[in-house]
Structure 1
Amino acid sequence: MTDLSLQNLPAGTVVQPGDDEWDAARAFHSGIGEPTVIVRAGTVDDVRSALRYAAAERLEVMVRGGGHSAWGAVPGGLTLDLAALDDVRVDGTLVHVGGGATWGAVAHELSEHGLGISSGDTASVGVGGLTLGGGIGWMVRAWGLAADQLVGAQLVTARGDVIEVIETAHPDLLWALRGGGGNFGVVTRFDFRAHPLTSVVFATLGAGDDARRLLRVLRDTMAQAPRELTVTYMHVPPMDPNAPAGATVTACWIGDDEDAARAALAPILAVDGVTETEFGVRSYPDILMDMPAADPDQPMPGFVGGNTLLRDLTDDAIERLVTFRESNAASVLFLRSLGGAFGDVPQDATPFPGRGATWFAMAGAFDVPGLVDDDTRPAIQASWDAIEALGDGLYGNFTASTDAGLVSRMYPPETMARLAAIKRQYDPRNLFCRNHNVAPA
């Protein structure tokens, strides 16, 4: 290796093909990567050196935190692994989180202080990717997105400069980081404003057989529900032993008032066929899911479908979603309630789309031979496209696609134009393009 910016890094920081640690280093949570080189940064200076090297060698950069992104599978480039930058420091309700931390570790640390941040559903998901993409979590109706709780950041630019991003310095960049993705630099520290949280009431309900009726009741219930309550609906096929087949409703209530949670959920509990699997007080870290790492010998099949942010869960939308699930044996349907604090944020206050949405919906058929083929795939996609057209935008964090065209469906034109102008200022050569990429204006 001839470049001094990598030569001077500590031993073990740089991993290349042929090194003993190569196979372990290139495995990420969702698969196996094939980068040109991997830099496992232990300090901010390591990040600076890696970016200067990548710029000099014209290597695209893929930033890895939790490693759930599909972009890790794109061949070539420099993978910048931030896993070692995982410190969590609490200062009152201000929480400083390293760019490589995962939400499970953060939730456990905050629970010791009686605090919480609305994160994702999975413990191993990275703070960085989820936050920069917006971050819909269990407290979305009470506290908004993970990005809405972001008040500052430390960022390394494509040129290797370290800047502190706050409202009074680089306000446009802070705006872009609240949902504009990893387009603008490497965030080595996130600063969040946390909320008091000692426990939650968590419920898992068997959803019965009448999906249409249940979804109408869910919609009507959540339209009047306290903001402490967020619910999901999921219907999965008998494919994955880690996810029991069938339909379930899951609910999270902020706090330990089980009676209040039960009262809010009463209309749902009264639906014929709904049964209680779990209903009780738990700590927030304990409700985050564990997701097994990808098995390279059994890769996940393709996915024909997508997601959208629905302003209203109309009867027509319910019919289309349920019909999609019923028409495709190996398919999944997922919905999460929004509104509340999520909708309080003005649309132009962050890049995240669809602030008027009251539901997030995702559906897709697994591209399994014998069930989906070249003749049926276009019709399945057309069925989903008709559902997506009902919504106000696409949530980038909830797609495994690396299709460059998706970004145009994520942001309205005026938001894209503003993001592109900020991109031009901080990354004019588009070093950070291994993401839902906003090209420099």
Structure 2
Amino acid sequence: MDIAPLRDAVSGSVLSAEDQGWDAARVSHAGLGRPDIIVRVGSVDDVSEAVRFTAAGRHEVVVRAGGHSAWCTLDNGVLIDLTALDTVEIVADPEGGALVRIGGGARWGDVARALAEHGLGISSGDTASVGVGGLTLGGGIGWMVRAWGLAADQLVGAQLVTAEGEVVEVTDASHPDLLWGLRGGGGNFGVVTRFDFRAHDLPGVVLAQLGVSGDARRILAALRDTLATAPRELTVTYMDVPAMDPSAPAGASIMAVWAGTDEAALRAAIAPLLALEGVVENDLGVREYPEILLDHPLPPPDQQMPGFIGGNTLVPSLDDDIIDSLVAFRESAPASVLFLRSLGGAFGDVPQEATPFPARNATWFAMAGAFDIPGLVDDAERARLAAEWEAIEARGAGVYGNFSTTTDPAFAHRMYSAESMAELAAIKAKWDPRNLFSRNHNVVPAV
């Protein structure tokens, strides 16, 4: 691959395996990737040049925004790294309030800190190091999902570089079909170099951290019943992790976040939980929103991610049978994790057809999986765990692509309804008929 013309055309840098800084440039949270080259763009024009170069050479293109990725590393092809496009600009919204224009390479922690200075917030994920781009294009479930909906629900515009290398401004007025696709349809239609969001007033949040012990089935049933009538300002998570997981203390815990600074309101909303035997209040108080976002640093370059047997599902009703199945899965595999997050509220207000994101009738997001560690898990155990998870997932109404552990192209058909997939395929045929942007949860262009 002759990259000299590309180096001459861009203001950023173009790296190959022979260049200094190569290893640092190809590391991600999944480990060391193995792209053919990396284009660290310095401008939107650089993105256009990189896309044209890739298309002309019929190379594969991989787009990296914040630096997270699928559970496995993304190898081969031209990696377009948007990290330098990380601006955060607040402007007046003609309809009142504030709009936030965020570069495609920005990360949520930086965005949250910039907005907090103005008493504003956007419904993002729960991790500071996650990129705005990947999270939003996949939908974006986070701490404000019940108060404000998905990150994608607040998206009102975007700047996108097409498969032809052209720069287009996308709004409901200019390209309503394309904006619909960007609200949860993944990176199938181009490289988004700027996201425009409608912001919300957020003077702070109230955070409660609860320790949990005893019968998980009883705790989860109480959590479900509490959230069924809770104000939409409240979002909660339940997490049970093994001692081997470095990202969180071992054991079960509940985190509750209130959108606003009314500590008494949060305490009243979770009173049924605090009254349970086995639930202990470890911390409760007002925080700035950026403070509650987790921060996972990049792993050592030589660290390999273990396999993961499981998945996620969007559950309309967290009934006792599903609770039993989820807890039984966790109990049967010591090296496994169970995670749930409450939905409903503003998430459910959005009509199903308004975005590609599935299962707007879901009231809970559930994820479970066992770490596939050599010597600990054999083929029979893998088959058992996979079968148990498939039975659980089948009871849900859809899956969330941002929490998937696969890059199998067929997975996209599990993410979207048949109607949404058909509409996404038609948009894909219009904007990327050659399927240049295929290294994602791929939507194949309609014929």
TM > 0.5 fold call: yes
User: Which amino acid in structure 1 is aligned with residue 232 of structure 2?
Assistant: R
Q: Which of 225, 228, 232 in structure 1 is aligned with 2:233?
A: 228
- Give the equivalent residue in structure 2 for 1:312: 317
Paired with 1:147 and 1:202, the residues of 2 have a C-alpha distance of: 24
Q: Which residues in structure 2 correspond to 1:179-258 (within 5 Å)?
A: 179-258=184-263
- Give the equivalent residue in structure 2 for 1:303: 308
> Per-residue deviation at 1:437?
0.5
Q: Secondary structure, in 3 states, of the residue corresponding to 2:38? A: strand
Structure 2 residue 21 is the aligned partner of structure 1 residue 16: no
Q: 1:85 to 1:316 in 2, by over 3 A?
A: same
- Give the equivalent residue in structure 2 for 1:383: 388
- Give the equivalent residue in structure 2 for 1:339: 344
> Per-residue deviation at 1:70?
2.0
Paired with 2:9 and 2:166, the residues of 1 have a C-alpha distance of: 17
- Give the equivalent residue in structure 2 for 1:48: 48
- Give the equivalent residue in structure 1 for 2:376: 371
Q: What residue ranges of structure 2 are gaps of 5+ in the alignment?
A: 93-97
Q: Which residues in structure 2 correspond to 1:162-181 (within 5 Å)?
A: 162-181=167-186
Could you list the per-position Cα deviations for residues 130-183 of structure 1 after superposition, in whole angstroms to 9, with x for gaps in the alignment? 000000010000100000000000000010011100001110000000000000
Q: Secondary structure, in 3 states, of the residue corresponding to 2:283? A: strand
User: Which amino acid in structure 2 is aligned with residue 133 of structure 1?
Assistant: G
Q: Which residues in structure 2 correspond to 1:85-100 (within 5 Å)?
A: 85-92=85-92, 93-100=98-105
> Per-residue deviation at 1:412?
0.8
Paired with 2:441 and 2:10, the residues of 1 have a C-alpha distance of: 32
Q: Are the aligned partners of 1:158 and 1:185 in contact in 2 as well (CA < 8 Å)?
A: yes
- Give the equivalent residue in structure 2 for 1:75: 75
Could you list the per-position Cα deviations for residues 332-375 of structure 1 after superposition, in whole angstroms to 9, with x for gaps in the alignment? 00000000000000101000001000000000011113331111
Q: Are the aligned partners of 1:153 and 1:166 in contact in 2 as well (CA < 8 Å)?
A: yes
- What count of residue pairs does the alignment treat as equivalent? 441
Q: Are the aligned partners of 1:153 and 1:187 in contact in 2 as well (CA < 8 Å)?
A: yes
User: Which amino acid in structure 1 is aligned with residue 210 of structure 2?
Assistant: L
- Give the equivalent residue in structure 2 for 1:142: 147
Paired with 2:15 and 2:116, the residues of 1 have a C-alpha distance of: 35
Q: Which of 408, 416, 428 in structure 2 is aligned with 1:411?
A: 416
- Give the equivalent residue in structure 2 for 1:122: 127
Could you list the per-position Cα deviations for residues 85-114 of structure 1 after superposition, in whole angstroms to 9, with x for gaps in the alignment? 000000131000000000000000000111
Q: Secondary structure, in 3 states, of the residue corresponding to 1:376? A: helix
> Per-residue deviation at 1:11?
6.2
User: Which amino acid in structure 2 is aligned with residue 218 of structure 1?
Assistant: L
Q: Secondary structure, in 3 states, of the residue corresponding to 2:46? A: helix
User: Which amino acid in structure 2 is aligned with residue 43 of structure 1?
Assistant: S
> Per-residue deviation at 1:277?
1.2
Q: Which of 315, 322, 328 in structure 1 is aligned with 2:327?
A: 322
Q: Secondary structure, in 3 states, of the residue corresponding to 2:314? A: strand
- Give the equivalent residue in structure 1 for 2:95: none
Paired with 2:227 and 2:123, the residues of 1 have a C-alpha distance of: 19
Q: 1:279 to 1:332 in 2, by over 3 A?
A: same
Q: Secondary structure, in 3 states, of the residue corresponding to 2:379? A: coil
Q: Are the aligned partners of 1:329 and 1:371 in contact in 2 as well (CA < 8 Å)?
A: no
- Give the equivalent residue in structure 2 for 1:280: 285
User: Which amino acid in structure 1 is aligned with residue 41 of structure 2?
Assistant: A
Q: Are the aligned partners of 1:301 and 1:368 in contact in 2 as well (CA < 8 Å)?
A: yes
User: Which amino acid in structure 2 is aligned with residue 349 of structure 1?
Assistant: A
Q: Are the aligned partners of 2:11 and 2:41 in contact in 1 as well (CA < 8 Å)?
A: no
Structure 2 residue 150 is the aligned partner of structure 1 residue 157: no
User: Which amino acid in structure 2 is aligned with residue 316 of structure 1?
Assistant: D
Paired with 1:10 and 1:46, the residues of 2 have a C-alpha distance of: 5
- Give the equivalent residue in structure 1 for 2:267: 262
Paired with 2:28 and 2:48, the residues of 1 have a C-alpha distance of: 22
User: Which amino acid in structure 1 is aligned with residue 90 of structure 2?
Assistant: V
Normalised by the size of structure 1, how large is the TM-score? 0.98
Paired with 1:388 and 1:240, the residues of 2 have a C-alpha distance of: 23
Normalised by the size of structure 2, how large is the TM-score? 0.97
Q: Secondary structure, in 3 states, of the residue corresponding to 2:174? A: coil
Q: Are the aligned partners of 2:101 and 2:194 in contact in 1 as well (CA < 8 Å)?
A: yes
Paired with 2:237 and 2:330, the residues of 1 have a C-alpha distance of: 16
Paired with 1:209 and 1:75, the residues of 2 have a C-alpha distance of: 44
> Per-residue deviation at 1:405?
1.9
> Per-residue deviation at 1:397?
0.3
Q: Secondary structure, in 3 states, of the residue corresponding to 2:9? A: coil
Could you list the per-position Cα deviations for residues 268-291 of structure 1 after superposition, in whole angstroms to 9, with x for gaps in the alignment? 111101001111000000000010
Paired with 2:422 and 2:247, the residues of 1 have a C-alpha distance of: 42
- Give the equivalent residue in structure 1 for 2:59: 59
User: Which amino acid in structure 1 is aligned with residue 291 of structure 2?
Assistant: D
Q: Are the aligned partners of 1:5 and 1:52 in contact in 2 as well (CA < 8 Å)?
A: no
User: Which amino acid in structure 1 is aligned with residue 91 of structure 2?
Assistant: D
Q: Secondary structure, in 3 states, of the residue corresponding to 1:152? A: strand
Q: Which of 419, 422, 430 in structure 2 is aligned with 1:425?
A: 430
Could you list the per-position Cα deviations for residues 270-313 of structure 1 after superposition, in whole angstroms to 9, with x for gaps in the alignment? 11010011110000000000102123333221000000000000
Paired with 1:30 and 1:102, the residues of 2 have a C-alpha distance of: 17
Q: Which residues in structure 2 correspond to 1:98-113 (within 5 Å)?
A: 98-113=103-118
Over the aligned positions, Cα root-mean-square deviation in angstroms equals 1.3
Could you list the per-position Cα deviations for residues 29-60 of structure 1 after superposition, in whole angstroms to 9, with x for gaps in the alignment? 32111111110111010000000000011111
Q: Secondary structure, in 3 states, of the residue corresponding to 1:47? A: helix
